[in-house]
């Protein structure tokens, strides 16, 4: 097999972005995508599917004819191991020889194995969502273990569906970390409790008996649906010689320590120079960026993911949020503007805009993203107000409304 | 001016790629879209964007997009779908005929004979405004009224604006005619280079006047001016006509209209620039206002910027608006943008519901004989 056979393991955002970029960079090459899921879909809108805002068709990431148009080969199956010496990917029933390989195999949810939780569900992929959707139509009382972003998103979707008895058990003393800080969490918790959601904070499951959770605090909660949302961990096929920590360790061009083997997305970790430690990748946008960088490196081109400001915008509970740059931190000046329906926090450090957390009202978010790291002329509480005119400050081409 | 003439395209390309990476597939953009009669899904758009293989559905949808920006406001992930649509418009395999017709008279230097002919006819038929049409000599004035292509708007807005300025005893210069087109309509239909050309030409005309304020009653012109100011760091300030007149509100004697008056927000001024207030404040001088929607940002677009590619589609938007106005028992509707006025005029005239450009209304409400 020639070196122009690009093999991608994984059909998520990292794998798909890499495949698309590869096709742009090399019109002739053979590109194969190995996946155990049928098609590329938007994981991040599973909650909207559960709450029936979206249809299955809408979640689909590309059209039926897309793979054909892009001339991608599809291989369905589970990858058992990778043999980097012979450049082979081993599936159950076949071996695929690669020229360059991208591992974008994603992550898998953590699970608590307590007696009594055998029929509990997780919330990660399409099958999980389908199961939740099916069970939820018959259930009245839900318990969600884990008050992270995903757990909150699910709670929001179920609340939108009109399920009244939802409880969240969270080991920390506030929900939504590390996206939220204490003050933002207090705001959200008030809203959630207002919607009738029960929050057990600084608490965890002690034991479960017959669809009844007994918490460490002594509180109990009966449930007919139990969903675990206690984080994810990277998953990747066994690969001799591959340098891994919690995930596959890559550099900012998505290269691993092995020649011709690249990795991108949730299965990886990347060294954070500031924090001086390896950090796993969990964000959709980062997955896309790493996939793109990988495609460049695989074709002998160069695209470095220098450290653009962090940007993540999606749903937390039922609210839209944007998390930009570094809004939380002990130092610098923090400004908060809040109403019943919105929470906005702006952080300025050394006279420069360090970060923003916008929930419920995200006015100016793209202009704020553009302004991260730039000098803020006017340092005052007005910065946090939605009326603050960021466009005048950022002066960039690339702002929210293009002016 | 430091642009190289391609910066629209470059920014748009960056935005589009950022949008592709960031889209999480909620499809909220397509759900809120007021003109998605084909029920196109977001993944169809992105598939075309990536593969370059157009489908008939997507091509039709892209030409029918009105650039209202509802999609961008709806996106949970911060994707600016309206700009991605603009990028797709710039890539369209076929330019609709109605668009080509629309561009025909908009300031193309290579069609200057056509414009010259138009100018001659226009000057003869435009009454007092005639002398300003595509003129080449300007005086230096602090206040510049910029009417561009809409100088002949059947709304009567330019004439009314100048009457108001005269009534206030202001000293001003006027820039009007198709040669000073702002280029925004071309830009909104994906003709980036063309739009850019127009904007550069407009800057050279503005520089002859060296104004402090430029007043425009067209939301697209206003948007173009904002863009121009940002790109060039110019010292002048763009104002919408309501913003300008609001500054003189107390100098005039006003008579109020009977009954309640509805107000239509321009997508550019309200959704994109975020200024729903000045027009509303001005409105309080002349009428009791009734809000048509829960929030100004929820206002449904006039539909102008698919440039008449599908009349039925836009008729439906106008009927929807009329229903709202009737539901709220308003005695009519005011608009702050002449483009919106022109888009709505037929439907409102047919239904015999008054439709006012705010300048025309203000001129009528401050006439001395009625004061």
Looking at beta carbons, which residues of chain B come within 8 Å of A363?
Answer: 274
Note whether A263 and A366 are same-domain residues. Answer: no
Decide the pairing of beta strands A333-338 and A343-349: antiparallel
Decide the pairing of beta strands A268-272 and A277-280: antiparallel
Please give the Cα distance from A33 to A43 (Å, whole number): 18
Pair B260, B288: CB distance under 8 Å:
yes
Both tokens assigned to B227: 């863009």
Domain ranges of chain B: 7-94, 102-246, 252-365
Choose the CATH number for B102-246 among 1.10.10, 1.10.1200, 3.40.50, 3.30.870: 3.40.50
Note whether A134 and A180 are same-domain residues. Answer: yes
Cβ neighbours for A382, distance < 8 A, ≥ 6 positions apart? A388
Contact state of A42 with B23 under an 8 Å Cβ cutoff: yes
Note whether A213 and A352 are same-domain residues. Answer: no
Note whether A152 and A84 are same-domain residues. Answer: no
Where among A263, A298, A333 does a domain terminate?
A: A298
Residue B93: phi, psi to the nearest 5?
Answer: -70, -30
Q: pTM for the whole thing?
A: 0.87
Contact state of A62 with B53 under an 8 Å Cβ cutoff: no
Report the gap between the CA of B118 and the closest CA in chain A (Å).
32
Looking at beta carbons, which residues of chain A come within 8 Å of B30?
Answer: 58
- A46 in a domain, yes or no? no
Looking at beta carbons, which residues of chain B come within 8 Å of A391?
Answer: 230
Please give the Cα distance from B345 to B353 (Å, whole number): 10
Instruction: State the DSSP H helix or E strand holding residue A121, giving kind and residue range, or none if neither.
Output: strand A121-122
- Per 3-state DSSP, chain A is made up of helix, strand and coil in percentages (nearest 5) of 25, 30, 45
Looking at beta carbons, which residues of chain B come within 8 Å of A366?
Answer: 78, 80
Which residue of A45, A50, A160, A395 is the best one to mutate when testing the B interface, meaning the one whose CB has the most B CBs within 10 A? A45
Q: In total, how many domains does chain A have?
A: 3
Exposed e or buried b per residue across A373-401, where buried means at least 16 C-beta atoms within 10 angstroms of its C-beta: eeebeeeeeebbeeebebbebbeebbbbb
Note whether A317 and A339 are same-domain residues. Answer: yes
Contact state of A44 with B230 under an 8 Å Cβ cutoff: no
Report the gap between the CA of B247 and the closest CA in chain A (Å).
20
- A399 in a domain, yes or no? no
Report the gap between the CA of B349 and the closest CA in chain A (Å).
33
- A401 in a domain, yes or no? no
pLDDT tens digits, one per residue of B287-307: 999 999 998 988 999 999 888
- DSSP labels for A347-389? EEETTEEEEEEEES--TTHHHHHHHTTSBPS--SGGGGSTT--
Q: What is the pLDDT of residue A1?
A: 44
Pair A61, A38: CB distance under 8 Å:
no
Please give the Cα distance from A85 to A88 (Å, whole number): 8
Contact state of A61 with B14 under an 8 Å Cβ cutoff: no
Contact state of B41 with A20 under an 8 Å Cβ cutoff: no
Please give the Cα distance from B313 to B36 (Å, whole number): 9
Report the gap between the CA of A324 and the closest CA in chain B (Å).
11
Q: What is the pLDDT of residue B129?
A: 87
pLDDT tens digits, one per residue of B114-147: 788 878 887 777 778 888 988 889 999 999 999 9
Note whether A247 and A196 are same-domain residues. Answer: no
pLDDT above 90: percentage of residues in chain B: 62
Cβ neighbours for B341, distance < 8 A, ≥ 6 positions apart? B153, B155, B157, B335, B355, B357
Note whether A254 and A191 are same-domain residues. Answer: no
Looking at beta carbons, which residues of chain A come within 8 Å of B80?
Answer: 366, 400, 402
- A49 in a domain, yes or no? no
pLDDT tens digits, one per residue of B177-217: 888 999 888 888 888 888 888 888 899 999 999 999 999 99
Both tokens assigned to B54: 């157009």
Please give the Cα distance from B257 to B236 (Å, whole number): 34
Note whether A317 and A236 are same-domain residues. Answer: no
- A237 in a domain, yes or no? yes
The reply to whether domains B102-246 and B252-365 share a CATH topology is yes
- A18 in a domain, yes or no? yes
pLDDT tens digits, one per residue of B15-70: 888 899 889 888 899 999 999 999 999 999 999 999 999 999 999 999 999 999 89
Note whether A189 and A84 are same-domain residues. Answer: no
Domain CATH code at residue A286:
3.50.50.60
Pair A333, A340: CB distance under 8 Å:
no
Chain B residue with CA closest to A403: the answer is B227
Where among A228, A243, A259 does a domain terminate?
A: A228
Report the gap between the CA of B77 and the closest CA in chain A (Å).
4
Contact state of A285 with B23 under an 8 Å Cβ cutoff: no
Chain A residue with CA closest to B227: the answer is A403
Confidence of residue B341 (pLDDT cuts 50, 70, 90): very high
Note whether A213 and A239 are same-domain residues. Answer: no
Domain CATH code at residue A326:
3.30.390.30
In the 8-state DSSP scheme, what is residue B1?
A: -
Mean pLDDT value across residues A256-260: 97
Contact state of A292 with B21 under an 8 Å Cβ cutoff: yes
Please give the Cα distance from A395 to B231 (Å, whole number): 8
Looking at beta carbons, which residues of chain A come within 8 Å of B42?
Answer: 58
Q: Where are the alpha helices (DSSP H) in A168-281?
A: 182-194
- A303 in a domain, yes or no? no
Chain B residue with CA closest to A386: the answer is B274
Note whether A75 and A98 are same-domain residues. Answer: yes
pLDDT tens digits, one per residue of A85-100: 999 999 999 999 999 9
Please give the Cα distance from B324 to B62 (Å, whole number): 27
Which residue of B4, B25, B56, B223 is the best one to mutate when testing the A interface, meaning the one whose CB has the most A CBs within 10 A? B25
Query: What value of ipTM does the predicted structure carry?
Result: 0.83
**Residue at token pair 């249809």:** A55
Contact state of B41 with A292 under an 8 Å Cβ cutoff: no
Where among A176, A201, A228 does a domain terminate?
A: A228
- A69 in a domain, yes or no? yes
Both tokens assigned to A368: 């704020």
Q: Which domain holds residue A376?
A: 311-394
Q: What is the pLDDT of residue B107?
A: 65
Report the gap between the CA of B298 and the closest CA in chain A (Å).
15
CATH T-level assignment (fold) for domain B252-365: Rossmann fold (3.40.50)
Note whether A144 and A77 are same-domain residues. Answer: no
């Amino acid at each position: 097999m020639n070196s122009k056979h690009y093999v991608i393991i994984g059909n998520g955002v990292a794998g798909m972005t890499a495949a698309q970029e590869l096709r742009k960079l090399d019109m002739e090459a053979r590109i194969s995508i190995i996946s155990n899921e049928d098609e590329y879909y938007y994981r991040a809108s599973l909650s909207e599917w559960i709450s029936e805002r979206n249809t299955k068709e809408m979640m689909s990431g590309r059209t039926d004819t897309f793979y054909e148009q892009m001339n991608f080969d599809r291989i369905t199956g589970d990858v058992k191991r990778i043999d980097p010496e012979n450049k082979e990917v081993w599936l159950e029933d076949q071996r695929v020889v690669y020229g360059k390989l991208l591992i974008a195999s994603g992550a898998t949810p953590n699970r608590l194995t307590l007696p009594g939780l055998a029929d509990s569900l997780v919330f990660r992929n399409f099958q999980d969502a389908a199961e939740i959707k099916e069970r939820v139509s018959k259930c009245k009382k839900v318990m969600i273990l884990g008050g992270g972003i995903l757990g909150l998103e699910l709670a929001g979707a179920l609340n939108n569906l009109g399920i009244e008895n939802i409880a969240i058990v969270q080991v920390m003393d506030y929900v939504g970390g590390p996206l939220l800080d204490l003050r933002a969490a207090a705001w959200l918790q008030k809203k959630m409790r207002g919607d009738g959601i029960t929050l057990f904070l600084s608490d965890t499951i002690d034991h479960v008996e017959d669809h009844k959770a007994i918490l460490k605090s002594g509180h109990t909660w009966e449930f007919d649906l139990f969903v675990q949302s206690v984080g994810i961990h990277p998953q990747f096929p066994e690969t001799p010689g591959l340098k891994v920590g919690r995930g596959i360790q890559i550099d900012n061009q998505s290269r691993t320590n092995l020649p011709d083997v690249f990795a991108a997305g949730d299965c990886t970790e990347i060294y954070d120079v500031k924090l001086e430690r390896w950090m796993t990748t969990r964000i959709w946008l980062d997955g896309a960026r790493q996939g793109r960088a990988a495609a460049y490196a695989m074709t002998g081109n160069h695209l470095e993911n220098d450290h653009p400001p962090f940007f993540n915008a999606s749903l937390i509970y039922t609210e839209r949020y944007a998390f930009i740059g570094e809004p939380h931190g002990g130092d610098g000046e923090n400004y908060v503007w809040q109403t019943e329906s919105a929470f906005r926090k702006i952080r300025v450090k050394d006279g420069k805009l360090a970060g923003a957390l916008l929930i419920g009202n995200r006015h100016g978010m793209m202009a704020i993203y553009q302004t991260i790291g730039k000098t803020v002329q006017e340092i005052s509480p007005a910065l946090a107000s939605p009326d603050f005119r960021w466009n005048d400050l950022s002066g960039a081409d690339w702002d929210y409304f293009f002016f | 001016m430091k642009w190289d003439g391609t910066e629209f395209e470059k920014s748009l390309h960056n935005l589009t790629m950022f949008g592709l990476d960031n889209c999480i597939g909620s499809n909220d953009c397509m759900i809120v879209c007021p003109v998605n009669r084909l029920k196109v899904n977001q993944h169809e758009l992105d598939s075309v964007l990536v593969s370059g293989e157009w489908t008939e559905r997507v091509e039709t949808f892209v030409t029918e997009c009105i650039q209202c920006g509802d999609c961008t406001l709806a996106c949970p992930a911060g994707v600016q779908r309206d700009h991605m649509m603009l990028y797709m418009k710039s890539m369209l395999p076929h330019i609709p005929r109605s668009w080509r017709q629309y561009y025909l008279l908009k300031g193309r230097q290579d069609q200057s004979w056509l414009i010259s002919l138009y100018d001659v006819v226009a000057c003869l038929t435009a009454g007092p405004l005639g002398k300003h049409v595509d003129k080449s000599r300007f005086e230096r004035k602090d206040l510049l009224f910029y009417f561009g292509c809409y100088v002949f708007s059947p709304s009567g807005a330019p004439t009314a604006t100048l009457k108001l300025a005269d009534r206030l005893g202001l000293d001003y210069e006027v820039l009007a005619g198709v040669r000073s087109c702002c280029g925004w309509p071309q830009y909104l239909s994906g003709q980036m280079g063309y739009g850019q050309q127009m904007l550069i030409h407009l800057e050279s005309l503005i520089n002859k006047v060296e104004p402090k304020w430029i007043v425009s009653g067209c939301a697209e012109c206003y948007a173009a001016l904002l863009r121009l100011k940002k790109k060039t760091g110019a010292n002048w300030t763009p104002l919408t006509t309501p913003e300008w007149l609001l500054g003189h509100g107390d100098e005039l004697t006003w008579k109020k209209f009977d009954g309640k008056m509805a107000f239509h927000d321009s997508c550019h001024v309200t959704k994109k620039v975020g200024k729903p207030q000045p027009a509303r404040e001005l409105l309080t001088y002349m009428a009791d206002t009734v809000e048509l929607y829960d929030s100004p940002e929820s206002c449904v677009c006039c539909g102008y910027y698919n440039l008449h590619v599908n009349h039925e589609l836009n008729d439906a938007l106008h009927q929807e608006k009329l229903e709202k106005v009737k539901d709220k028992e308003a005695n009519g509707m005011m608009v702050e943008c002449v483009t919106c006025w022109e888009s709505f005029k037929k439907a409102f005239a047919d239904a015999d519901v008054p439709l006012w450009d705010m300048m025309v209304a203000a001129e009528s409400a401050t006439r001395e004989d009625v004061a």
